């Protein structure tokens, strides 16, 4: 099926398949995004680390593949960090899983040119464990040593090292259910507390709900994580998996991004005829409100706004497939139970984002969104409890060709969802009799070719970073 589902302001690969974000590190003014990648096919295969960089988290520039599979296996998920900063001695490290059919072990690679090229350490692997599932190391600096949180089957483990090459086990942290398998853990300090993020394979649960991202807020003493909350869902939408955060982000920001798909149907989404499959969510800045994680779009995203079009409850004079909708809705005089928006409307299709005042839940519903039959688990609606304080419902909804992401009540809930409507389904409608829109603006987001970095005829040139297009394997 030929389409035009290519996102305008979300990251997607030039060609081939992607899944998890990897190696997220901010260095020398660039946000590095590595990712699980199969360049030659639109399905999963021997994994590479693809690579892109951005100055503003929204214009991405494709860089050469950073890590190729080798005789130890494919390059599974992992992280990156700054080892030493400043002048030509700067060093970045990537810590990843070498995965073969018989083993999963942790390895490292180093870069001395700002992340453009990578050399795998010749003594790899640096950490092994006698378990079939052992992957997705996230490394970070803590005090005067390195720590790693890594998925080890039914538990996450924390290790310490002074040199990134020798690691000692400090603690284990179990999955909430004995048969949930960890993937892609992340552990970081936020507003004086600690957050442990986890993705889980949940065997035995319904196919459309078999994977999910979660978090706990708690305390960390340098060796053990102690939760102070129950396990909480990271999103109420289906399409944010393996979400992890950037290391070394400026201004003490904690920015996360996830893979905007789900294993159940990821290999069947209708973009393969265009030669690519998979995209990332919007980058989100995290903060805490009480015992909850607050997620808002990273402020850089707003730089993509075109001229705003205002609307009210009677009329939305806008059509498009790449935009941000901002609404504050007074629901005190609502006479129906549901209030919200129909998006990508046309051809008998609509994706709904709405609040149900009886159920007191926020919903996103793609059952009538367009192409939904390519996998039996795709169609459906997704929801989470929500109390609307003061009868003001605040929605910020991002539409980008094949996705819809809803930020609710200033980041209290985040719901990302893939959709594949007909290309000309571009209307937006409001529903909720008696409700009044006190603020309504739609900002179109433009498809710009601007890359954010300087480009010359040979490839990329950026200060001391040069890619002349001559790298090949
Ligand atoms: C999560 C995951 C990781 C693994 C990678 C393989 O989506 O299964 O655990 O490293 O994908 O591509």
pLDDT tens track for 376-429: 989 999 999 999 999 999 999 999 999 999 999 999 999 999 999 999 999 999
Burial class (CB in 10 A: 0-12, 13-18, 19+), 427: middle
Mean pLDDT to the nearest integer, 452-463: 39
Whether residue 166 is predicted with pLDDT greater than 50 in this model: the reply is yes
| pLDDT for residue 446 | 87
pTM for the whole structure: 0.94
Whether residue 461 is predicted with pLDDT greater than 70 in this model: the reply is no
| pLDDT for residue 469 | 40
Q: Is 38 in the pocket of ligand 1 (CB under 6 A)?
A: no
Whether residue 458 is predicted with pLDDT greater than 50 in this model: the reply is no
Strand partners, 352: 342, 365
Strand partners, 211: 201
| pLDDT for residue 465 | 42
The fold for domain 16-300 equals Tachylectin-2; Chain A (2.115.10)
Residue 97 CA: which ligand 1 atom is closest?
Answer: 10
Mean pLDDT to the nearest integer, 301-327: 97
Q: Band the pLDDT of 87: cuts 50, 70, 90.
A: low
CA–centroid distance, residue 384 to ligand 1 (Å)? 26
Question: Are the beta carbons of 69 and 47 closer than 8 angstroms?
Answer: yes
Instruction: Give DSSP secondary structure letters for 196-258.
Output: EEEEEE-TTS-GGGSEEEEEEEEEE-SS-EEESS--EES-SSS--EEEEE-BS-GGG--EEEE
Considering the chain, what is the average pLDDT of its residues?
Answer: 93
Strand partners, 167: none
CA–centroid distance, residue 267 to ligand 1 (Å)? 14
pLDDT tens track for 3-53: 689 999 999 999 999 999 999 999 999 999 999 999 999 999 999 999 999
Residue 241 CA: which ligand 1 atom is closest?
Answer: 7
| pLDDT for residue 184 | 98
| pLDDT for residue 202 | 82
Pairing of strands 119-120, 104-111: antiparallel
Mean pLDDT to the nearest integer, 96-105: 97
Mean pLDDT to the nearest integer, 105-125: 97
Residues of the chain with CATH 2.115.10.20: 16-300
| pLDDT for residue 212 | 83
Mean pLDDT to the nearest integer, 244-272: 96
Q: Band the pLDDT of 464: cuts 50, 70, 90.
A: very low
- The residue whose CB lies within 8 Å of the most ligand 1 atoms, and thus the one to mutate among 23, 36, 43, is 36
Residues 6+ apart with CB under 8 A from 347: 370, 421, 422, 424, 425
Mean pLDDT to the nearest integer, 133-153: 98
CA–centroid distance, residue 165 to ligand 1 (Å)? 23
Q: Residue 290, Cβ neighbours under 10 Å: how many? A: 7
| pLDDT for residue 344 | 98
Which of 113, 67, 71, 61 minimizes the C-alpha distance to 92?
A: 113
pLDDT tens track for 339-380: 999 999 999 999 999 999 999 999 999 999 999 999 998 999
Whether residue 82 is predicted with pLDDT greater than 80 in this model: the reply is yes
| pLDDT for residue 454 | 43
Residue 136 CA: which ligand 1 atom is closest?
Answer: 10
20 in catalytic set? yes
- What are the helix and strand counts (H, E) for the chain? 0, 36
Q: Is 77 in the pocket of ligand 1 (CB under 6 A)?
A: yes
| pLDDT for residue 306 | 97
Instruction: Give DSSP secondary structure letters for 61-99.
Output: EEEEEEE--BTTBEEEEEEEEEEE-SGGG-EEEEEEEEE
Q: Is 47 in the pocket of ligand 1 (CB under 6 A)?
A: yes
pLDDT tens track for 261-281: 999 999 999 999 999 999 999
The fold for domain 306-444 equals Jelly Rolls (2.60.120)
| pLDDT for residue 447 | 81
CA–centroid distance, residue 305 to ligand 1 (Å)? 33
Residue 259 CA: which ligand 1 atom is closest?
Answer: 7
| pLDDT for residue 79 | 98
pLDDT tens track for 167-222: 999 999 999 999 899 999 999 999 999 999 999 988 765 545 557 899 999 999 99
CA–centroid distance, residue 294 to ligand 1 (Å)? 25
Q: Residue 244, Cβ neighbours under 10 Å: how many? A: 26
CA dist., res. 369 & res. 8, Å (int):
19
CA dist., res. 304 & res. 285, Å (int):
17
Q: Band the pLDDT of 433: cuts 50, 70, 90.
A: very high
Q: Is 234 in the pocket of ligand 1 (CB under 6 A)?
A: no
Residue 170: is the preceding peptide bond cis (ω within 30°)?
A: no
Q: Is 79 in the pocket of ligand 1 (CB under 6 A)?
A: no
Q: Band the pLDDT of 467: cuts 50, 70, 90.
A: very low
Residues of the chain with CATH 2.60.120.560: 306-444
| pLDDT for residue 206 | 55
Q: Band the pLDDT of 459: cuts 50, 70, 90.
A: very low
Q: Band the pLDDT of 472: cuts 50, 70, 90.
A: very low
Mean pLDDT to the nearest integer, 287-297: 97
Whether residue 327 is predicted with pLDDT greater than 50 in this model: the reply is yes
Mean pLDDT to the nearest integer, 278-305: 98
């Amino acid at each position: 099926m030929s389409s035009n589902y290519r996102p305008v302001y979300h990251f997607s690969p030039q060609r081939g398949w992607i899944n998890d974000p990897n190696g997220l590190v901010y260095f020398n003014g660039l946000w590095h995004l590595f990712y699980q990648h199969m360049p030659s096919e639109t399905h999963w295969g021997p994994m590479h680390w693809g690579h892109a960089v951005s100055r503003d988290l929204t214009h991405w520039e494709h860089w050469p593949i950073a890590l190729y599979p080798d005789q130890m296996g494919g390059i599974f998920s992992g992280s990156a960090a700054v080892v030493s900063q400043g002048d030509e001695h700067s060093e970045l490290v990537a810590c990843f899983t070498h995965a073969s059919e018989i083993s999963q072990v942790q390895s490292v690679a180093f870069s001395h040119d700002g992340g453009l090229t990578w050399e795998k350490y010749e003594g790899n692997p640096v950490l092994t464990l006698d378990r079939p599932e052992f992957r997705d190391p996230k490394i970070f600096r803590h005090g005067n040593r390195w720590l790693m949180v890594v998925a080890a089957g039914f538990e996450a483990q924390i290790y310490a090292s002074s040199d990134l090459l020798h690691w000692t086990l400090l603690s284990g942290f179990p999955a909430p259910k004995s048969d949930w398998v960890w993937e892609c853990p992340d552990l970081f300090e936020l507003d004086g507390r600690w957050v442990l993020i986890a993705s889980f394979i949940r065997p035995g649960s319904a196919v459309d709900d078999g994977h999910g991202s979660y978090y706990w807020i708690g305390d960390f003493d340098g060796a053990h994580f102690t939760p102070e909350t129950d396990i909480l869902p990271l999103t109420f939408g289906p399409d944010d998996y393996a979400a992890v955060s950037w290391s070394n982000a400026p201004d003490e920001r904690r920015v996360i991004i996830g893979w905007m798909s789900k294993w159940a149907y990821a290999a069947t989404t209708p973009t393969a005829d265009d030669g690519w499959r998979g995209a990332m969510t919007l980058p989100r800045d995290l903060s805490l409100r009480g015992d909850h994680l607050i997620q808002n779009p990273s402020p850089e995203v707003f730089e993509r706004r075109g001229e705003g079009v205002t609307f009210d409850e009677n009329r939305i004079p806008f059509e498009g497939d790449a935009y941000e909708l901002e609404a504050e809705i007074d629901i005190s005089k609502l006479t129906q139970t549901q209030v919200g928006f129909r998006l990508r409307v046309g051809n008998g299709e609509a994706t709904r984002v709405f609040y149900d005042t009886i159920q007191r839940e926020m919903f996103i519903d793609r059952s009538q969104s367009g192409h939904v039959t390519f996998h039996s688990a795709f169609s459906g609606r997704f929801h989470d409890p929500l109390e609307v304080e003061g009868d003001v419902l605040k929605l910020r909804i991002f539409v980008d060709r094949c996705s819809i992401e809803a930020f609710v009540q200033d980041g209290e809930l985040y719901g990302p969802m893939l959709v594949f409507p007909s290309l000309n389904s571009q209307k937006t409608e409001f529903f909720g009799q008696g409700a009044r829109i006190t603020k309504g603006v739609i900002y179109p987001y433009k498809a710009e070719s601007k890359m954010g970095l300087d480009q010359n005829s040979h490839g990329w040139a950026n200060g001391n970073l040069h890619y002349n297009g001559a790298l090949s394997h």
